[in-house]
Chains A and B, each alone.
Chain A
Amino acid sequence: MTSIKRRTFLKGSLATGAIGMAVSTGLLTPRMSFAAWSKEAFDATDVNGALSALFGSSDLEGSDKIKIKAPDIAENGSVVPVSVTTDIGGADSISIIAEKNANPLAASFMIGPGTEGYVSTRIKMGKTASVIAVVKAGGKLYSTGKEVKVTIGGCGG
């Protein structure tokens, strides 16, 4: 009984592996707009892959108009409070990326015209890494990063 379960389980994980491969090798075309939840972006295993899938570009421009509020040291990686504030006018979206997570993209917030450039949430981090905030405004991508030291990882295991 247990061995049969194990077999189906292995088959299942192989199938998901194949989808992951298709994404990373570019068989699935990245979506330009991201009104819908982007599986490619959230399954991407590196920052550039996630950005390309989300925005169709991974060209980031550093900006001092984005502020990230996050702890310098997070004792528990499963709950890391992150707030992002931006003064960039006409921002369309704010995305939060944990650089060294298995799937770096944590969240992407589409903000309406009357919505201020501010979001606050709590994310999981596998290990010490930069938290990157990406703001899309006027078709360009702006970003800033902040290093967060993680004492106990919060991504499975």
Chain B
Amino acid sequence: MASIKMRANIDGDVTTIKALISHPMETGLMKDSKTGEKIPAHFIQEVVCEHKGNTVLTANWGPAISKNPYLSFRFTGGAAGDTVKLSWVDNKGEKDSAETTIK
């Protein structure tokens, strides 16, 4: 499952991560327009980014993050060719991860 599109670009000492995740991010407040029943909440709760076994960022998200979430951040200590791993878990226990190399 490829739910994550990710890029890691290095400029000098600073690596910039940009990631897009495909996910509905349902708040649990929306109603189905046909049946009128509420659509159950379904959203990513945690996103973790690791570089060489170190966690560089942990994001805790609520349903107020937009559908198909975008995330960007920067860290130092990376080098071109290093692997960066991003993984997410949602409130239903579904998960996915992806790896990319710093360019």
Contact = CB atoms under 8 A, between A and B. Distances in A.
Given A37-B45, A102-B29, A112-B56, A124 B71 contact: no
Contact of B58 (A109, A118, A121): A109
B14 to A, nearest CB: 7
Given A155-B29, A156-B30, A106 B65 contact: yes
Q: Is the interface of B mostly helix, strand, loop or mixed?
A: strand
A123 interface: yes
Nearest to A103: B62
B29 A118 contact: no
Given A80-B66, A103-B64, A124 B59 contact: no
A98 B63 CA distance: 12
Contacts, number: 114
B73 A103 contact: no
Given A42-B60, A116-B76, 20 more contacts: A9-B37, A78-B66, A79-B66, A101-B64, A103-B63, A107-B60, A107-B64, A108-B60, A112-B56, A112-B75, A114-B76, A115-B57, A116-B73, A119-B71, A120-B71, A120-B73, A122-B69, A125-B64, A156-B30, A156-B31
Interface of B: 14, 27, 29-31, 37-38, 45-46, 54-67, 69-77
Interface of A: 5, 9, 34-35, 37-38, 42, 78-81, 83, 98, 101-103, 105-112, 114-116, 118-125, 154-157
